[in-house]
Chains A and B, each alone.
Chain A
Protein backbone atom coordinates (compact mmCIF):
# COMPACT_ATOMS: atom_id res chain seq x y z
CA UNK A 1 0.00 0.00 0.00
CA UNK A 2 0.86 3.68 -0.15
CA UNK A 3 3.12 5.28 2.47
CA UNK A 4 3.27 9.06 2.85
CA UNK A 5 5.95 10.78 4.91
CA UNK A 6 5.66 14.44 5.84
CA UNK A 7 8.32 16.83 7.14
CA UNK A 8 8.81 18.77 9.27
CA UNK A 9 6.39 17.87 12.05
CA UNK A 10 6.57 21.41 13.43
CA UNK A 11 7.56 24.64 11.73
CA UNK A 12 7.81 28.19 13.09
CA UNK A 13 8.08 31.05 10.64
CA UNK A 14 8.30 34.80 11.08
CA UNK A 15 5.26 36.62 9.76
CA UNK A 16 5.85 37.65 6.16
CA UNK A 17 8.39 34.90 5.49
CA UNK A 18 7.74 31.77 3.43
CA UNK A 19 6.95 28.28 4.72
CA UNK A 20 7.66 25.01 2.93
CA UNK A 21 6.29 21.59 3.88
CA UNK A 22 7.50 18.47 2.09
CA UNK A 23 5.96 15.06 1.51
CA UNK A 24 7.18 11.88 -0.13
CA UNK A 25 5.09 8.96 -1.31
CA UNK A 26 5.94 5.38 -2.17
CA UNK A 27 3.42 4.22 -4.79
CA UNK A 28 4.28 5.41 -8.29
CA UNK A 29 0.64 4.79 -9.31
CA UNK A 30 -0.58 7.60 -7.03
CA UNK A 31 -1.85 10.42 -9.17
CA UNK A 32 -3.73 12.87 -6.96
CA UNK A 33 -2.22 14.91 -4.12
CA UNK A 34 -4.41 17.18 -1.96
CA UNK A 35 -3.32 19.41 0.91
CA UNK A 36 -5.55 20.08 3.89
CA UNK A 37 -5.43 22.75 6.59
CA UNK A 38 -6.84 21.96 10.02
CA UNK A 39 -7.32 24.60 12.69
CA UNK A 40 -7.52 23.48 16.31
CA UNK A 41 -10.62 21.37 16.97
CA UNK A 42 -12.02 21.92 13.49
CA UNK A 43 -12.43 19.94 10.31
CA UNK A 44 -9.63 19.59 7.75
CA UNK A 45 -10.26 21.85 4.78
CA UNK A 46 -8.84 21.40 1.29
CA UNK A 47 -6.57 24.31 0.40
CA UNK A 48 -4.99 23.11 -2.83
CA UNK A 49 -4.52 19.92 -4.82
CA UNK A 50 -2.47 18.74 -7.76
CA UNK A 51 -2.80 15.91 -10.24
CA UNK A 52 0.08 13.94 -11.64
CA UNK A 53 -0.11 15.47 -15.11
CA UNK A 54 0.87 18.86 -13.65
CA UNK A 55 4.19 19.91 -12.09
CA UNK A 56 3.08 23.03 -10.25
CA UNK A 57 -0.11 24.76 -9.24
CA UNK A 58 -0.57 28.13 -7.59
CA UNK A 59 -3.45 29.83 -5.84
CA UNK A 60 -2.61 33.30 -4.53
CA UNK A 61 -0.08 32.82 -1.69
CA UNK A 62 -0.20 29.02 -1.85
CA UNK A 63 1.59 26.79 -4.34
CA UNK A 64 2.19 23.08 -4.66
CA UNK A 65 4.96 21.41 -6.65
CA UNK A 66 5.13 17.77 -7.70
CA UNK A 67 8.16 15.75 -8.75
CA UNK A 68 6.86 12.42 -10.03
CA UNK A 69 10.29 11.00 -10.68
CA UNK A 70 11.44 11.57 -7.12
CA UNK A 71 7.94 10.89 -5.74
CA UNK A 72 7.76 14.00 -3.65
CA UNK A 73 5.52 17.05 -3.48
CA UNK A 74 5.71 20.25 -1.50
CA UNK A 75 3.46 23.01 -0.19
CA UNK A 76 4.74 26.56 -0.35
CA UNK A 77 3.11 29.43 1.51
CA UNK A 78 4.47 32.91 0.81
CA UNK A 79 4.00 36.14 2.77
CA UNK A 80 2.76 34.18 5.77
CA UNK A 81 0.11 35.68 8.02
CA UNK A 82 -1.02 34.78 11.57
CA UNK A 83 -4.14 33.09 10.20
CA UNK A 84 -1.91 30.61 8.38
CA UNK A 85 -1.13 29.02 11.77
CA UNK A 86 -2.66 25.53 11.70
CA UNK A 87 -1.82 21.88 11.10
CA UNK A 88 -1.29 21.00 7.45
CA UNK A 89 -1.73 17.49 6.03
CA UNK A 90 -0.60 16.17 2.69
CA UNK A 91 -2.18 13.10 1.11
CA UNK A 92 -1.67 10.80 -1.87
CA UNK A 93 -4.28 8.84 -3.76
CA UNK A 94 -3.76 5.70 -5.77
CA UNK A 95 -6.72 5.42 -8.17
CA UNK A 96 -7.33 1.84 -7.10
CA UNK A 97 -7.10 2.44 -3.38
CA UNK A 98 -7.85 4.95 -0.66
CA UNK A 99 -6.37 8.32 0.22
CA UNK A 100 -3.31 8.07 2.47
CA UNK A 101 -2.50 11.03 4.71
CA UNK A 102 0.81 12.28 6.05
CA UNK A 103 1.23 12.76 9.78
CA UNK A 104 0.82 16.53 9.65
CA UNK A 105 2.91 19.68 10.13
CA UNK A 106 2.06 22.17 12.87
CA UNK A 107 2.82 25.59 11.39
CA UNK A 108 3.16 28.55 13.75
CA UNK A 109 3.46 32.08 12.39
CA UNK A 110 5.35 34.36 14.75
CA UNK A 111 4.02 37.96 14.70
Chain B
Protein backbone atom coordinates (compact mmCIF):
# COMPACT_ATOMS: atom_id res chain seq x y z
CA UNK B 1 0.00 0.00 0.00
CA UNK B 2 1.25 3.48 -0.82
CA UNK B 3 0.21 4.52 2.69
CA UNK B 4 3.04 2.65 4.42
CA UNK B 5 6.60 3.66 3.66
CA UNK B 6 9.60 1.68 4.80
CA UNK B 7 13.16 2.88 4.42
CA UNK B 8 15.76 2.07 3.45
CA UNK B 9 14.98 -0.70 0.97
CA UNK B 10 18.38 -2.32 1.59
CA UNK B 11 20.53 -1.97 4.70
CA UNK B 12 23.89 -3.39 5.70
CA UNK B 13 25.04 -3.78 9.27
CA UNK B 14 28.55 -4.09 10.58
CA UNK B 15 29.50 -6.17 13.61
CA UNK B 16 28.53 -4.50 16.88
CA UNK B 17 26.46 -1.85 15.17
CA UNK B 18 22.88 -0.85 15.88
CA UNK B 19 20.75 0.01 12.87
CA UNK B 20 17.30 1.57 12.69
CA UNK B 21 14.61 0.73 10.15
CA UNK B 22 12.02 3.37 9.44
CA UNK B 23 8.28 2.81 9.06
CA UNK B 24 5.84 5.65 8.40
CA UNK B 25 2.13 5.42 7.63
CA UNK B 26 -0.39 8.05 6.58
CA UNK B 27 -3.43 5.79 6.88
CA UNK B 28 -4.36 7.12 10.33
CA UNK B 29 -4.08 3.58 11.68
CA UNK B 30 -3.83 3.03 15.42
CA UNK B 31 -1.91 -0.22 15.34
CA UNK B 32 1.50 -0.90 13.84
CA UNK B 33 3.59 -4.07 13.63
CA UNK B 34 7.06 -5.31 12.79
CA UNK B 35 7.61 -8.75 11.29
CA UNK B 36 10.71 -10.66 10.34
CA UNK B 37 10.68 -12.98 7.33
CA UNK B 38 13.45 -15.48 6.66
CA UNK B 39 13.82 -17.24 3.28
CA UNK B 40 11.07 -19.76 2.75
CA UNK B 41 9.50 -18.94 6.10
CA UNK B 42 6.38 -17.28 7.35
CA UNK B 43 6.08 -13.95 9.12
CA UNK B 44 7.19 -13.80 12.75
CA UNK B 45 6.07 -10.92 14.93
CA UNK B 46 8.83 -8.87 16.56
CA UNK B 47 6.94 -6.00 18.22
CA UNK B 48 3.57 -4.37 17.93
CA UNK B 49 1.92 -1.18 19.11
CA UNK B 50 -1.80 -0.61 19.41
CA UNK B 51 -1.57 3.00 20.51
CA UNK B 52 0.93 5.84 20.74
CA UNK B 53 3.47 5.52 23.56
CA UNK B 54 2.65 1.86 24.09
CA UNK B 55 4.07 -1.31 22.54
CA UNK B 56 4.32 -5.02 23.30
CA UNK B 57 6.82 -7.75 22.54
CA UNK B 58 5.94 -10.24 19.88
CA UNK B 59 7.29 -13.76 19.48
CA UNK B 60 10.93 -12.86 18.69
CA UNK B 61 11.62 -9.51 20.40
CA UNK B 62 15.10 -10.32 21.72
CA UNK B 63 17.77 -8.14 20.12
CA UNK B 64 15.25 -5.58 18.86
CA UNK B 65 13.77 -2.37 20.24
CA UNK B 66 11.01 -0.01 19.10
CA UNK B 67 9.42 3.31 19.95
CA UNK B 68 6.01 4.80 19.18
CA UNK B 69 6.23 8.51 19.89
CA UNK B 70 3.95 9.45 17.00
CA UNK B 71 0.94 7.71 15.53
CA UNK B 72 2.49 7.78 12.07
CA UNK B 73 5.88 6.34 12.97
CA UNK B 74 7.11 3.02 14.41
CA UNK B 75 10.89 2.67 13.97
CA UNK B 76 12.62 -0.63 14.67
CA UNK B 77 16.19 -0.79 15.97
CA UNK B 78 18.16 -3.95 15.36
CA UNK B 79 20.72 -4.00 18.14
CA UNK B 80 24.12 -5.68 18.29
CA UNK B 81 22.50 -8.24 20.59
CA UNK B 82 20.66 -9.67 17.59
CA UNK B 83 23.27 -12.14 16.37
CA UNK B 84 21.48 -13.23 13.22
CA UNK B 85 19.83 -10.10 11.82
CA UNK B 86 19.93 -11.02 8.13
CA UNK B 87 16.29 -11.12 7.01
CA UNK B 88 13.50 -9.28 5.26
CA UNK B 89 11.72 -6.91 7.67
CA UNK B 90 8.11 -5.95 7.08
CA UNK B 91 6.16 -3.21 8.79
CA UNK B 92 2.37 -3.30 8.84
CA UNK B 93 -0.48 -1.24 10.20
CA UNK B 94 -4.17 -1.71 10.83
CA UNK B 95 -7.04 0.42 12.13
CA UNK B 96 -8.61 0.11 15.58
CA UNK B 97 -6.03 -2.17 17.12
CA UNK B 98 -6.50 -4.87 14.45
CA UNK B 99 -9.82 -6.05 15.78
CA UNK B 100 -10.94 -8.07 12.77
CA UNK B 101 -9.29 -5.63 10.41
CA UNK B 102 -6.73 -6.51 7.75
CA UNK B 103 -3.12 -5.49 8.14
CA UNK B 104 -1.54 -3.45 5.37
CA UNK B 105 2.15 -3.96 4.68
CA UNK B 106 5.03 -1.78 3.56
CA UNK B 107 7.50 -2.83 0.86
CA UNK B 108 10.02 -4.13 3.38
CA UNK B 109 13.66 -3.60 4.25
CA UNK B 110 16.24 -6.24 3.45
CA UNK B 111 18.95 -6.27 6.10
CA UNK B 112 22.29 -7.99 5.60
CA UNK B 113 25.49 -8.29 7.60
CA UNK B 114 28.73 -6.93 6.15
In the complex, which of the residues A41, A51, A89, A101 contacts B100, with contact meaning CB atoms closer than 8 Å?
Answer: A51
Number of interface residues of A (CB under 8 A): 22
A43 B42 Cβ-Cβ under 8 A: no
Secondary structure class of chain B's binding surface, majority of residues: loop
Q: Give the tally of cross-chain contacts (CB within 8 A).
A: 48
A65 at the interface (CB under 8 A from B): no
A89 B42 Cβ-Cβ under 8 A: yes
Secondary structure class of chain A's binding surface, majority of residues: strand
Chain A residues within 8 Å of B104, by CB:
46
A92 → chain B, closest Cβ, in Å?
A: 11
CA distance A31 to B101 in the complex (A): 11
B102 A101 Cβ-Cβ under 8 A: no
B85 at the interface (CB under 8 A from A): no
Could you list 6 A-B pairs, sorted by A, with CB under 8 Å?
Answer: A34-B103, A41-B108, A42-B107, A89-B43, A99-B45, A99-B103
Which residues of B line the A interface, CB within 8 A?
A: 1, 33, 40-43, 45, 48, 58, 90, 98-108
